[in-house]
Amino acid sequence: MRGRIALQSTAREMVHERCPFSRSFGSADASSRRFLAVVIVDFAIRDPTELSEAADVKILSTVAEAQAKPRVKRRVLVPTMGALHKAHGELIRVAREAAGKDGEVAVSIFVNPLQFEPGSDYKRYPRPEKADEKFCRSAGVDLLFRPSADEVYENDRSTFVEETSLSSTLEGKSRPGHFRGVCTVVAKLFNILAPDAAVFGEKDFQQLAIIRRMVRDLNFDIDIIAVPIVREGDGLACSSRNQYLNPKERKRATVLHKALLAAKDAGKKSADDVVRIAQKVINGAPLARIDYIEVVDSETLKPIEIAGPSSVLLVAVFFGKTRLIDNLRLN
Ligand code: AMP
């Protein structure tokens, strides 16, 4: 069955895009196009293994496989925790561009126990394996690295990577140990997959700043590429955690982006004023409980008093048990 699906889609792709003959048949009538498809199917039947491999994502689950040599292609990595959505798709698209036509896009899916603080949602975090594979396949991912926790961490591990300045505020304050877990796993992924570049989203603004700092401080020879926040039609930033929201909470959660826009559009210079406006909008929404709202410098992440071109407004808000984050640059 698998072979047949791959066969059919390969035939379709070849007819529409990839087949060198398809251009010359571009204006042909329906019967000659059918003929083309039959010829291709006949060809595909002769060597199905080769064709289905070419169309498929290579799925690796062990460190040894991922580190196998030789490796010749430029590799761009998109680290994720899975439950892939539109925003991950955008990161993959940017990775593809950065990899170039001869390079490869690698996606890692790993729900990293080290970055979940005790009592948080590690166990219930969504893990839709088949859907994620399908997503990667249709996004044109070349390599999917999806190890188990036991594969990544030794029981007696005693080495961690910790950034100690940017990690102390915002998410770091609310989620102690979170960024130590993030830095440790990202450093490990960099060592295991040895990418030339890696793509991260600005939705996790602090995480991005910390990864850049780690790359600089530890001399990883890896370009870090940032992707702007991808939003749903109603402004809510895409997130795997949005699926925890019940319909009422989901509706209310749109207040996050509204609050950020209202605070920015008011044109206030004082950070306190900016925060107050955002607070007022969020507090006006039932079900919302603010964890933090802060204006900080986008590089140092230090609080600032007067909003300027490099300021960013960050929020973390609970809707029921679900904690969502968002941010907006104030320039
Ligand atoms: P996650 O799977 O949630 O760990 O996210 C994997 C990567 O996708 C991280 O670099 C996130 O910052 C990025 N990402 C997640 N949601 C968004 C979004 N709405 N816009 C941009 N990047 C995102």
pLDDT of residue 10: 32
Q: Ligand 1 pocket, 201 CB below 6 A?
A: yes
Distance separating alpha carbons of residues 107 and 127, to the nearest angstrom: 15
Q: Strand (E) positions, 33-74?
A: 58-60
Tell me, in angstroms, the distance from the centre of ligand 1 to residue 182's CA: 13
Tell me, in angstroms, the distance from the centre of ligand 1 to residue 241's CA: 11
- Give the residue from 67, 56, 36, 175 showing the smallest Cα distance to 117: 175
Per-residue pLDDT of the chain (331 residues; tens, 9 = 90+): 333 333 333 333 332 332 322 222 233 333 333 323 332 333 333 333 333 344 599 999 999 999 998 888 999 999 999 999 999 999 999 999 999 999 999 999 999 999 999 999 999 999 999 999 999 999 999 999 999 999 999 999 999 999 999 999 999 999 999 999 999 999 999 999 999 999 999 999 999 999 999 999 999 999 999 999 999 999 999 999 999 999 999 999 999 999 999 999 999 889 999 999 999 999 999 989 999 999 999 999 999 999 999 999 999 999 999 999 999 999 8
pLDDT of residue 4: 34
Tell me, in angstroms, the distance from the centre of ligand 1 to residue 123's CA: 19
Distance separating alpha carbons of residues 189 and 211, to the nearest angstrom: 12
Distance separating alpha carbons of residues 98 and 272, to the nearest angstrom: 40
Q: Ligand 1 pocket, 80 CB below 6 A?
A: yes
Sheet arrangement for strand 288-297: 288-297, 311-319, 322-329
Residues noted as catalytic: 88
Token pair in block for residue 11: 């035939």
Q: Ligand 1 pocket, 313 CB below 6 A?
A: no
Helix (H, G, I), strand (E, B) or coil at 111: coil
pLDDT of residue 299: 95
In terms of Cβ atoms closer than 10 Å to its own Cβ (0-12, 13-18, 19+), residue 278 is buried
